[in-house]
Structure 1
Amino acid sequence: MTTTPSAAALTGATAKTATDETKKATVDYESFLKLLTAQLRNQDPLAPMDATQFMTQLAQLSTVEQSMKTNDTLTEVLDTLKSSGMRMDMAFLGRKVEATTTSLPLAGGKAESAYTVSGTPASVKVEVLNAAGAVVHSAAGSLQSGRQSFAWNGRTASGATMPDGLYTLRITAKDKDGKALETASVIADTVTEVRTVDGATQFVLKGGATVGAGAILSAS
């Protein structure tokens, strides 16, 4: 299994800012040019503009023009990076990834996940919740350190069979003093769709879970 870093997607707000700055620079440049032309056209022939003042205004015009060109170049760079980032994200399509998420897909009466607990737990409880937030399965987790596996056959304590779909895995761990410990759960699934939502990349997995770029730990 090889780790593949996901490209950070550029936000739409950043691209919009660059575009707005380009438009603003264009307006400033055109306005400055019109003002300078009108000033030259309407100057008093007997008292022409001072040469030093004229050169200063030309230098200002050059600065505005350079700023406009710089903003144009920046916009092109941002567009290129955004396109490149999306192409890299699309490379995850069809690949099996490991991602941190509390989502637990159940398919064909089978659901698998893994979890870790920070510190040394004195008690670990593993619960599966349905879409309404109700607990449909509960079990004691392992007290051993390191990564632990979890499997669920889709049955409740009463023996009822739950329908296939997306559930939530909740891990609760405490140390010997009753203090809550941090936990994290991981699933392995195949990427079936790549989306961009508000400038951020989201990966839709086969079992229905949706994870962000930062949640992907590895891909194979």
Structure 2
Amino acid sequence: MNIAPEIFQTPATDLAGLTQAQPENATGDNRLDQESFLRLMTTQLKFQDPFDPLDNQAMVAQLAQFSSVAGISEMKQSLSDIASILGNNRLSDAKEWIGHSVLVPGNISVADKNGQYSGEFELNQATDNLSIDLLNEAGEIVMFVELGRQEAGPVEFNFDSKDEAGNPLDQGRLRVRINGGSASEVATWVPVASVKTSEGNGPPILVTPIGNVFPAEALKIG
């Protein structure tokens, strides 16, 4: 009885075809780091055909290509780390704004810690009877001022809200209404209550009584 000899096949020795047998249910990542690459290269040299050795230039090219890819990966991680650091620094800088007020575009005014409602706007042309009203959510005039004759240009306003005892009085969010003239670029001062981070290492967010404000949206800080 003839018994056929058992045939053993070795894995291909070229780098692209080098494989390792493993169970079908084996798990693990498919990443090729520098250590794994060098281990594969060493195995390739160990099992190369002595009559057909690996080409030196091809090996150098493979090493150079891997080094380039590894360098790009490391650079990406370094840039990510730098972005994170800069994001934290921006947040640290923005925290210094807590307790201050920022001038932001809009016609909604809120009181600061002293009970003052203030802002500014651009008067497009001269007028003889300029007046400013602050209205509550019901549309009622809470405070007003008659400014009379005003030349074209920037106009600032400041309402001092106090109770009968002279203490600061917060009357909530009030809408600014300008009468007797054409106005544009209306902006109000709002206090910064706190600061929070935004997603994706974005700029910090200033939390105010009228909503969230990005530092870039602030026209002035006081």
- TM-score between both structures, scaled by the size of structure 1: 0.60
Name the structure 2 match of 1:3.
Answer: none
1:61-104 per-position Cα deviation (integer Å, ceiling 9, x unaligned): 1112222221222122112211211111112223x334224331
1:136-155 equivalent positions in 2, closer than 5 A: 136-137=140-141, 143-144=150-151, 145-151=153-159
Q: Distance in 2 between matches of 1:124 and 1:100?
A: 22
**Residue 116 of structure 1: how far off its partner (Å):** 1.6
Is the aligned partner of 1:165 residue 2:172?
A: yes
SS in 2 for 1:77: helix
Is the aligned partner of 1:116 residue 2:117?
A: no
Aligned partner of 2:104 among 94, 100, 104? 100
Q: Distance in 1 between matches of 2:36 and 2:130?
A: 70
Q: Distance in 1 between matches of 2:87 and 2:190?
A: 28
Tell which structure's C-alpha radius of gyration is larger: 2
SS in 2 for 1:74: helix
Instruction: Assess if the C-alpha contact under 8 Å between 1:172 and 1:183 holds in 2.
Output: no
Aligned partner of 1:89 among 78, 87, 94? 94
- TM-score between both structures, scaled by the size of structure 2: 0.59
Between 110-119 and 44-53, the greater mean CA deviation after superposition: 110-119
**Residue 213 of structure 1: how far off its partner (Å):** 0.9
Instruction: Assess if the C-alpha contact under 8 Å between 1:202 and 1:212 holds in 2.
Output: yes
Aligned partner of 2:139 among 129, 135, 144? 135
The alpha-carbon distance between structure 1 residues 167 and 53, as it changes in their structure 2 partners (threshold 3 A), is same
Q: Give the letter aligned to residue 101 of structure 2.
A: V
Q: Distance in 2 between matches of 1:67 and 1:126?
A: 60
The alpha-carbon distance between structure 1 residues 218 and 44, as it changes in their structure 2 partners (threshold 3 A), is same
Q: Distance in 2 between matches of 1:92 and 1:194?
A: 8
Instruction: Assess if the C-alpha contact under 8 Å between 1:29 and 1:64 holds in 2.
Output: no
Identity of aligned residues (%): 18
Q: Distance in 1 between matches of 2:77 and 2:179?
A: 53
Q: Distance in 1 between matches of 2:105 and 2:175?
A: 9
Consecutive unaligned residues of structure 2, counting only runs of 5 or more, are 1-29, 163-169
More helix by share: 1
Is the aligned partner of 1:53 residue 2:53?
A: no
Consecutive unaligned residues of structure 1, counting only runs of 5 or more, are 1-25, 155-162, 176-180
Instruction: Assess if the C-alpha contact under 8 Å between 1:101 and 1:187 holds in 2.
Output: no
**Residue 53 of structure 1: how far off its partner (Å):** 1.0
Aligned partner of 1:66 among 34, 53, 71? 71
Name the structure 1 match of 2:193.
Answer: 192
